[in-house]
Structure 1
Amino acid sequence: MPSDLAFERIRLDVQDQVAILTLNNPCKRNAFDLLMREEIGLAMACVRQDLGIRALILTGADGHFCSGGDLRNMASVDLDNAGWHQRMQSLHHGLRDLLTLDRPVIAAVDGAAAGAGFSLALMADFVLATPRARFCMSFMKVGLVPDCAAFYTLPRIVGQQRARELMLSARDVGAAEALQLGLVLELHEPDGLMARARAMAGSLAQASPTAVSLIKRTLASPAQDLATLLEMEASGQALAAGTPYHHEAVQRFLNKEPALYQWPANP
């Protein structure tokens, strides 16, 4: 990880093979602007290049996750159709590394996750939240369509009909409903949220990086037919079975030694 990186809108900390990317614009409830987008892109490029990082936590500073796009900043930009299209393509380029990261991503959500903030949370493999977390696909309130890959992520989690309802209604979803809908994996009190995220990330950091990467890649595949998925399964298993990690894990099992990887107990 480069030591000379300085950020204004985010923080990036690495400890014990786990990177923590914190959205850090608390005076605007961590609103998403062009600078934050660029800095997330830079941070993710560093994470991708550093193979010593085995898991990533995405969170927000000071009791907020992300309140969505910075509307004041957006209103100050005068773009035509081509300009907006280019701006969105640049946004996609910066965030693609987060969505396609070959390592586990855990979002720890406290407070608002609205608009782009909701979309960012959906890019994670697991979403942990506090009871005061709120989720909203708020784009319709300002006459926009969902962005930051929500058209890809949201229907895959809640299904097409519920995704339409959440996008078109632009209604608030509380933490309990988010858990029921499968948007959130677990709820934790604010003082235990990051501890749980770190425990999960630390455990996942001990997993086979090959197996993790193959699972994420296969689950993200647009292929839905059985034949294609079975072929991906066969190819993936062949790769995983040849890794030193697999051989050591099997030997540990046969020797009745502690496993290399264990999921942390839910407190």
Structure 2
Amino acid sequence: MSEVLIDHDDGVTTLTLNRPQAKNALDMSMRAALREAIYAIRQDRSVRAVVLRGAGTEFCSGGDVRGMNVESAEAGRNRVDDLHGWIAQLVDLDRPVIAAVDGVAYGAGFSFALAADFVIATSRARFCMPFMKVGLVPDCGALYTLPRIVGMARARELIFTAREVKADEARTLGAVLEVVEPDALEARSKTIARSLADASPTMFALTKRALNMSLNSDLRTMLELESIGQGVVFSTVFHREAVQRFRNKATPLFNWPTS
């Protein structure tokens, strides 16, 4: 049985971490399957949005500690560096990514969720950066994503206290967009994914890439990216049709789905 299940449905691809017996902990086999899946998605333009989820009642409990038998600094670095290749591809994916989080999102599982554009969590979801407890550095992109999402001071606190954060607090911190009941998670996540899949792919791609650059850039560079991006999207079919619909007071091409 595959450790990552892949489902394609009307432009939305769902990746399901499939080790429910281990709370979907990331072992080497699952990591390899995720790498292949994400690289394939990047090459497939029929995929217009992605949903990340865990099988069963847990999202992901982090790295599989039973497989962390690292004998040298070089081996340890290579182990994590191999992981970061596909994490970077996911963070920079030019299409919408929604993480549907139920149960635990611990360690690399929390980091994996933060790689998405939006996190939808259930009321029983729990988030934690427990790396201090095992003497490891946060990985899976957390040192990049967490400070940008919750701020540097709060990122320090979450990492250095290794405390658990429940769904409502995670929403207050900005790490979670919406909190829903467990039986509504799948439907809500896919509704958002389908809505974003119908948005302008060019606008979304250019804007996401620019936002990912913004905190490492300067005003003049970002203004130039705005000008170039706007020049491109002015020429798209989506923009022309959206303007025509606005003038005719017709239904917009994109509407965020109300909860």
| TM-score normalised according to structure 2 size | 0.97
Residue among 151, 155, 162 paired with 1:163: 155
Deviation at 1:256, TM superposition (A): 2.4
The answer for the alignment partner of 1:236 in structure 2 is 229
1: CA distance, partners of 2:60 / 2:79: 20
1: CA distance, partners of 2:110 / 2:142: 8
Structure 1, unpaired ranges of 5+: 1-6
Q: Does residue 1:90 correspond to 2:77, yes or no?
A: no
Structure 2, unpaired ranges of 5+: none
Deviation at 1:154, TM superposition (A): 0.1
2: CA distance, partners of 1:128 / 1:235: 32
Q: Decide whether aligned partners of structure 1 residues 145 and 78 sit closer, same or farther in structure 2, where only a CA change above 3 A counts.
A: closer
Give % identity.
54
Assess if the C-alpha contact under 8 Å between 2:31 and 2:83 holds in 1.
yes
Deviation at 1:82, TM superposition (A): 1.0
Deviation at 1:48, TM superposition (A): 1.1
Residue among 192, 196, 199 paired with 2:184: 192
Q: Deviations over 1:73-128 (max 9, x none)?
A: 11xx3431111111111111132221111000000000000000000000000000
Deviation at 1:260, TM superposition (A): 1.2
Q: Does residue 1:264 correspond to 2:257, yes or no?
A: yes
1: CA distance, partners of 2:237 / 2:62: 43
For 1:15, the aligned partner's letter is: D
Assess if the C-alpha contact under 8 Å between 1:129 and 1:175 holds in 2.
yes
2: CA distance, partners of 1:51 / 1:184: 27
The answer for the alignment partner of 1:3 in structure 2 is none
The answer for the alignment partner of 1:24 in structure 2 is 18
The answer for the alignment partner of 2:145 in structure 1 is 153
The answer for the alignment partner of 2:203 in structure 1 is 211
List structure 1 segments (4+ residues) > 3 angstroms apart after TM superposition. none
2: CA distance, partners of 1:211 / 1:56: 17
2: CA distance, partners of 1:161 / 1:176: 19
Assess if the C-alpha contact under 8 Å between 1:223 and 1:229 holds in 2.
no
- Of residues 240-249 and 107-116 in structure 1, the stretch that sits farther from structure 2 once superposed is 240-249
Residue among 11, 15, 18 paired with 2:5: 11
Deviation at 1:169, TM superposition (A): 0.6
Q: Does residue 1:226 correspond to 2:219, yes or no?
A: yes
Deviation at 1:252, TM superposition (A): 1.7
Secondary structure of 2:144's aligned partner: helix
The answer for the alignment partner of 1:60 in structure 2 is 54
2: CA distance, partners of 1:68 / 1:18: 25
Q: Does residue 1:125 correspond to 2:84, yes or no?
A: no
1: CA distance, partners of 2:160 / 2:70: 26
Assess if the C-alpha contact under 8 Å between 1:38 and 1:94 holds in 2.
no
Secondary structure of 1:11's aligned partner: strand
Q: Deviations over 1:175-233 (max 9, x none)?
A: 11111111101000000011111110010010000000011101100434221111111
Assess if the C-alpha contact under 8 Å between 2:70 and 2:76 holds in 1.
no
Deviation at 1:50, TM superposition (A): 1.2
Alignment RMSD, CA only?
A: 1.1
Assess if the C-alpha contact under 8 Å between 2:49 and 2:194 holds in 1.
yes
Q: Does residue 1:34 correspond to 2:28, yes or no?
A: yes
Q: Deviations over 1:159-184 (max 9, x none)?
A: 11110010111110011111111110
